[in-house]
Chains A and B, each alone.
Chain A
Amino acid sequence: MLRQQKRAWYELTVSALAIVAVVVLGFTIRMPQALAGLGILGFYGLTPLLFRRRPAPGEVVVDERDRHIAMRAATAGFAASYVAFVLSGVGLWAYAFLCRGVEEVSVHQLVTPVWLAFLVFCVVRAATMLALYGGEVADASE
C-alpha cells in the first residue's frame, strides 16, 4: 500500500472517530456541547508526521499519477464541501427562521456549517483518493 493510501485511510478513520464521538456525546451531554467531539479532527494535523519517510537515494516517492490523483481527489472534496457548506448554511437559516420563527442563531450553531464543510472535504477527498488508487481508470490528460 502506498503512503498516500495509508494517509487516506488514516484521515477516514479520524473522520469516523469524530462522527462517532459527536453522536455518543450527543446522547450523553447533548448538543451543542457534543460538537466538542469534532476536536478529534485535529489529529489530521499529525498526518505529515506519521507518514513521513526519508526516500532512498534515487527512489521516486511521488510521481505524476500520484499528483493527478491528489488533484482529482482535492477537486471532488472541494466540490462536496462547497455543497455541504451552502446547504447547511441555508438549512440552519431555514430551521431557525422558518421552523422556529427566530431571527438569531446561536454561535454554537453558526460554526456548524464550517465544521461540516471541513469534515465533508476530508472524507470525500480521502474516499476519492482510495477509489482512484483502487483501480478506477485514470488519465493524465484529464
Chain B
Amino acid sequence: MPANELTNSIRRLRFDHGEMTQQELARRAGVTRQTIIAIEAGKYSPSLPLAFRIARAFDLRVDEVFQYREPGNPEDAG
C-alpha cells in the first residue's frame, strides 16, 4: 500500500492539544521524534499498534487521526 493513501491530522491535533511538541507526542507514542516527523509529512505509514498509540495520545479514535483514501476515489477520506 503506497504511504500516500493514508493521510493524517496529527499536525492540527498537536496544535489543538496545547501545541503539543513532536517530542512530547513521540514520547507518548513510544517512538522517535523523526518517526513522528515522517508520519506527519506522509512519508511513513505507521503500523496499526502505533496508529492506536498516537490516537490514544490525543484521546481520540484512530479514524479521527488517520484517514484512508481508496485508490481511484480521491474524495473518499475516511
Chain A residues at the B interface, C-beta cutoff of 8 Å: 2, 58, 60-66, 133, 135-142
Contacts and interface: CB of A to CB of B under 8 A. Distances in A.
Interface of B: 1-4, 26-27, 30-32, 34-35, 38, 42-47, 50
B46 A2 contact: no
Contact of B47 (A60, A133, A140): A140
Contact of A63 (B3, B4, B31, B43): B31
Given A63-B31, A66-B32, A137 B43 contact: yes
Contact of A138 (B30, B31, B43): B43
Contacts of A139: 1-3, 44-45
B43 A60 contact: no
Contact of B38 (A62, A65, A141, A142): A65
Given A140-B47, A140-B50, A141-B1, A65 B35 contact: yes
B21 to A, nearest CB: 15
Contacts of B31: 60, 63-65
A62 B32 CA distance: 7
Nearest to B51: A140
Given A60-B26, A63-B30, 16 more contacts: A60-B27, A62-B32, A63-B31, A63-B32, A64-B31, A64-B46, A65-B34, A65-B44, A66-B32, A133-B34, A137-B43, A138-B44, A139-B44, A140-B47, A140-B50, A141-B45
